[in-house]
Amino acid sequence: MNPMVTVNIDGQDIQVEPGTNVLEAAERLGVMVPRYCYHPGLSVAGSCRMCAVEIEGMPKLQISCHTRVRDGMKVSTGSEQVLRMRQAMLEFLLVNHPLDCPVCDQSGECDLQNFYMEHGLHESRVFEDKIKRKKAFPIGPHVMLDQERCILCTRCVRFCEEISESHELGVLDRGDRSVIDLFPGRELDNNYSGNVIDICPVGALTEREFRFQCRVWYLSQEASICNGCSRGCNIAVHFNTERSYKADGRRVQRLKPRFNPLVNQWWMCDQGRFGYGFVDRDRIENPCLRIGGELQPRAWEEVLEEVATALKTTVEKFGAEGLGVIASPQQSNEELYLVRKLFRELLGVAEIPFRNPWEGTGTEDGILLLGDRNPNSRGAVDLGLQGDAERILEDAAAGGVKVLFVFGHDFDSDPARELIRQAGYVVFQGANWNSTARLAHAVLPGVTHMEKEGTFTNFEGRVQHFAQALLPLGESRPDLEILCDLAQRLGHALFYAEPEDLYSEWRGRSYQDLGEFGEVRDSNGAGAS
């Protein structure tokens, strides 16, 4: 390994790997050098000129994004000359900027606002007319472009060149007539288009779904994991729960990728990004029982009691063979562990499948999105869950399985629906209404993964923690509560206060041990990374 080099930045020494740029080295010391064009996930453009710093022995200021550290280098990020340069660049950036912050969706999370407030010149001397450009027009299904707000940092262009490799965007024209625009005949319609919104430092690229729904300062956020496929992209859930009059009461306003160098870097796919609708839509808000052929809301007590009785009598009369349980790869490790504990270890059900045999494999896009569109299939495998869901449904239809307990699945195919219709007694536990839930005899409203804490194990075996962002909707309850309650009604003393209690029991470790980026453990239980 190369020896580390020592640089001195604003009087503090730091050791970094050779090849590190000065901007990143400063960041490690907690020194934020303002920048627009630089993004750690993209090639260096070096064109915004915002990150210039003073380096001892160099006649001119150097842009810190394109200057590599040298041993003994002395850097000043706050000298008078540096501050003057920043002020000058900010002034230039505003020469043709419309300053329409009051109606700009980016307000509050805009680097032009932020850096201007910190480093800007506060008296304008721009008295000439500004250049007019196209404002607020859609360039794809998710993205709006405002060319007047654009500062030509070209992050979006480089993203489409280097990450999505879809080449929709370019810089057209020259000088101060330059604009970011679509190439003729193109549309920004790739599965990663939402990322350009994230990396746009200003209000030039905004999200069509999010526009004017909620001011960003009303948003709270919580760290989560995308449940859209088995990659396990790290995300932040941005939600608004205090101003329910906004966005028709939707709580989740948007998802943003969260940096994880080992999983998704800075990115996420559009399918995951815009796939959060299930959190506030088609939710099962009350426990239900089928009465007179109709599902009707009933109190938890009543529904749980009926389900417990059905389970108890079935096991008593027919043994565990009378129970069919199908877990879900959308459940957390903790929940799957609890399912296994209750149904296999305590009730004796031999086989608990988790895959939906009618669910095909999706197409992989070669970037992040994987074919398995479930977040925790690997976790279910690691927990030893296996079996044939189709055979269980057939047994249920044929009468061998008396009580069928389905977690979350939507067996949305004609043969599957027919089998479920013929089943004697179907319990559905899940967060959203679907074709299987509608055919059930008892429906137990669970919560989405944004309303609970837990872990998913991604395709490569990386266990990642997600935090609870929202409170359960309506009367819904986390599986942990429902299953413990059921177990107690069945006479088993299952008490778990928190998901972490289950996690510790299963893995002998705490959530803290997962670290910032999750943990891959080999079959011997030793940490791999």
Partner 1 sequence: MERLRLISRDFGNSRARKLDYYRAHGGYQAALKALDEMAPRRITEEVIKSNLRGLGGAGFPVGRKWSFVPSNTGKPIYLVVNADEGEPGTFKDRYIMEWDPHRLLEGMIICARAVGIHTAYIYIRGEYVHPERILREAIEEAYREGILGSRVLGRDFSLDVHMHVGAGAYICGEETGLLESLEGKKGWPRLKPPFPAVVGAFGCPTVINNVESLTYLPHIVANGGEWFANLGSERNGGLRLFSLSGDVKRPGVYELPMGTPLRELIYGCGGGMADGKQLKAVIPGGSSAAVLTADEIDVPLDFDHLARIGSMLGSAGIVVMAEDVCMVEAMRVISHFYAHESCGQCTPCREGTGWVARTVDAIHSGRARRRSVEDLMQIADNMSGTSICALCDGAAMPLRSFLVKFRGEFDYHLKHGRCDLKRPVPAVARSGVFQAPTGSGGIPGAGQE
Task: Rule CB under 8 A: say whether 62 interacts with partner 1.
Answer: no
Segment lying near partner 1 (by CB under 8 A), choices 93-101, 223-231, 288-296, 398-406: 93-101
Cα separation, 44 vs 39, whole angstroms? 8
Q: How far is the CB of 21 from partner 1 (least distance, A)?
A: 12
The one among 29, 51, 52, 396 contacting partner 1 by CB under 8 A: 52
By CB under 8 A, the residues from 147 to 166 that bind partner 1 are: 151-152
The one among 44, 223, 467, 490 contacting partner 1 by CB under 8 A: 44
The two tokens of residue 35 are 């920048």
198 burial level (CB within 10 Å; 0-12, 13-18, 19+): buried
SS3 379: helix
Q: Nearer to partner 1 by C-beta: 80 or 248?
A: 80
CA distances to 54, 56, 69, 306 from 59, rounded to whole Å, are 9, 8, 17, 82
Segment lying near partner 1 (by CB under 8 A), choices 87-95, 243-251, 365-373, 388-396: 87-95
Task: Rule CB under 8 A: say whether 443 interacts with partner 1.
Answer: no
Q: Nearer to partner 1 by C-beta: 124 or 529?
A: 124
Q: Binding mask 110-139 vs partner 1 (x if CB under 8 A, - otherwise)?
A: ---------------xxxxx-x--------
Q: How far is the CB of 278 from partner 1 (least distance, A)?
A: 43
The one among 20, 77, 96, 330 contacting partner 1 by CB under 8 A: 96
Q: How far is the CB of 98 from partner 1 (least distance, A)?
A: 14
Task: Rule CB under 8 A: say whether 61 interacts with partner 1.
Answer: yes
CA distances to 177, 308, 407, 463, 526 from 384, rounded to whole Å, are 62, 25, 17, 16, 18
Pairing of strands 425-430, 403-407: parallel
Amino acid sitting at position 148: E
Q: How far is the CB of 33 from partner 1 (least distance, A)?
A: 15
Cα separation, 460 vs 106, whole angstroms? 36
Q: How far is the CB of 39 from partner 1 (least distance, A)?
A: 15
Q: Binding mask 218-247 vs partner 1 (x if CB under 8 A, - otherwise)?
A: ------------------------------
The two tokens of residue 256 are 């943003």
Q: Nearer to partner 1 by C-beta: 124 or 422?
A: 124
The two tokens of residue 444 are 């137990």
173 burial level (CB within 10 Å; 0-12, 13-18, 19+): exposed
Could you tell me which residues are beta bridge partners of residue 257? 235
**How many chain residues are in contact with partner 1, going by CB under 8 A?**
35
By CB under 8 A, the residues from 161 to 200 that bind partner 1 are: 170-171, 173-178
Q: Nearer to partner 1 by C-beta: 115 or 239?
A: 115
Tell me 346's DSSP state: I
Going across the sheet that includes 462-466, the strands are 454-457, 462-466, 519-520
Identify whether the C-beta of residue 322 lies closer than 8 Å to the C-beta of residue 348: no
Residues that bind partner 1 (CB under 8 A): 44-50, 52, 60-61, 66, 85, 88-89, 91-93, 95-96, 125-129, 131, 151-152, 170-171, 173-178
